[in-house]
Amino acid sequence: MRPINQAPMIARRVENRPIRATLPLIMNIEGLKNRLAAEQSPYLLQHATNPVDWFPWGEEAFAKARRENKPVFLSVGYSTCHWCHVMAEESFADPDTARLLNEHFVSIKVDREERPDVDRVYMTFVQATTGGGGWPMSVWLTPDLKPFFGGTYFPPEDRWGHPAFKRVLREIAEAWARDASRLAEEAENVLQQLRERTPAPTAGTLQSERELLEVATGHLHASFDPVNGGFGGAPKFPRPSVFEFLLRHYERTGNADALHMAVFTLRGMASGGIRDHLGGGFHRYSVDAEWRVPHFEKMLYDQAQLASVFLEAFRLTREAFFEEIARETLDYVLREMTGYDGQFFSAEDADSPLPEDPSRHSEGAFYLWTSDEIAAALEPGMARLFCAHYGVEAGGNVTADPHGMFKGRNILHARAGDISDDVRADLKEARRVLFEVRARRPRPHRDDKTLTSWNALMISALARAHRVLGENRYLVNARAAAAFIRQHLYDETSGLLFRRFRAGKAGIAGGLDDYAFLVQALLDLHEANADPATLSWALALQEKQDVLFADRERGGYFSTSLDAADIVLRMKDDYDGAEPAANSITAMNLLRLSSLDRNRAFLSEAERGMAAAAVRFRHSPTAIPQMLAAMETHLALSAKNALQQACGPGGCAVPT
């Protein structure tokens, strides 16, 4: 599909593609504060002392843009994002850049984790017009919030053929002064094209359900990396929904290839540098094809989903390795990402202070090792064993390092193959010692806001851990987090959810993913402890979700409610990426509710939602693996119901 053209009067003068650079994290704590100082988001607070006259997303900024007829500069990111820190250091802390922004634009800063609805609209624009996306995201809007130009990271000066941020600002300011009405017209045209590209899908049928699932498995096989695991080349992202589908497909059909693709990839990820071998948990993604060189931030949603997938792999294979990884991942969250009241925090930064010079920051500094550091911490024999097993080299082991960020340092990755119990015990002791040494280093920044949807994913993981592993502590922590949400992020009178809690305050209306993920979490909790109050809350939330987000005409759910006046494009999220699409989770929720509550209406709505995704299935069946997993469940439930009807209440007279 060809990209939509951005505003031609700007695009023909400014070529825009994202680039990479490396600079330390900005930690500006001096000077006057701007409006962001009153916000709760850690990301917005990181920019509270910028000389840029930032506004949070809201009517005050929109009114100023309309009143002064100025374009909006929208900057979207999150607090643990390495490249967001780079652009902040290079541009937003720079007085000359701030002067340009303050004179010619109304500048708005958005935390994508707080406002995924805002991020989704403008990321769709950036991807459609540039062919790519990412954060920080930079988009220019008309005063009525329609986008006309955008990109991701811009350098402070022309670099490697890419335009300087200040040059982009001048070009756009001049174009707006010259012909603002034409830019507004072009923005409306682009928005109309986006509306046409993202229609609410017409209702389809599920007659070819089995065929679609086989086709999707074939598509995944075609892109499978048989050497390293994963799908496609570098960079590689852990996409837990893919494993969820493959494992369910194997369980229903016995397809050995589906099982192999899932467990081989999980082993590769768990052995690679994308996993924290000392502290547990997984980094965001791997920049190489071997899973060895990660982008070092740690996100709560990754830990939750991957723990669930490793638990499922253990349940199906009974391989102790998968149980070990699931436990380590959950233990990391409970140790480092859990608040005093049972809530879960959002993320840990990719960047951290250098141990040898805490005034400087670098990506991965907390996790990297020199061979000398390991030799100093371990006795010689144990150091040699550890270095051999985890690939530590005297001159460093990072080859995928084009900017020299990791020179002379090592990213731990485990050697493949079986090891003896004695070696395993020695390596465990070495990891314990090095974990204690690392604990004395300056830790990465932690984003301590609590998000309803991400907490719900973690509740699901813990409830499933209780069912699979039988440990009560997992259930205790899951129930504590659910109680926190009910107390702080739920209005009992209206039945409405809030999205974010931080520093004693809840805020931001819950979106579709908050409702869908929490319903899933409550169903998982109900399966773990059979508490009828948990099921009652899940039913109430599903009813509220239907009222706020359901597409009554075509099936499925919109990401935002009808009264979201600040969203210019009402969309249906139908891509299972780093997080599953709420429509996919909802289809599974409705199937489970239909089984629990014996309510035919739930089953009908689930089938309508799956049918509404039929167009997406036909064109890109692997884009929504979580929906494919729901279809697997639908087939399994249909087979079970057919068997029950055939056998009758007295059971089957002949073997089935």
pLDDT above 60 for 653:
no
Mean predicted confidence (pLDDT) in 498-515 = 97
- The residue length of the chain stands at 656
pLDDT above 60 for 488:
yes
**Residue 255: what are its φ and ψ, rounded to 5°?**
-65, 105
- How many other CB atoms sit within 10 Å of the CB of residue 214? 15
Cα torsion 417, 420, 426, 431: sign: positive
pTM (whole model) above 0.85: yes
Q: Which residue has the tokens 């301590």?
A: 448
Quick one: pLDDT at residue 437?
97
Q: Which residue has the tokens 């439930």?
A: 637
Q: Rounded to an integer, what distance in angstroms lies between the CA atom of residue 376 and that of residue 592? A: 54
pLDDT > 90: percent of the chain:
77
Cα torsion 531, 537, 542, 545: sign: negative
Residue 11: pLDDT band (50, 70, 90) is low
Superfamily of 8-197 according to CATH: Glutaredoxin (3.40.30.10)
Peptide bond into 355 cis (omega under 30): no
pLDDT in tens, 299-311: 999 999 999 999 9
Quick one: pLDDT at residue 249?
96
What is the residue type of 148? F
Residue 24: pLDDT band (50, 70, 90) is very low
Under 8 Å between Cβ of 123 and 137: yes
Q: Rounded to an integer, what distance in angstroms lies between the CA atom of residue 78 and that of residue 137? A: 10
Cα torsion 479, 485, 491, 495: sign: negative
Average pLDDT, the chain: 90
Strand 137-141's sheet: what is its strand order? 54-56, 106-111, 72-77, 137-141, 147-151
Residue 71: pLDDT band (50, 70, 90) is very high
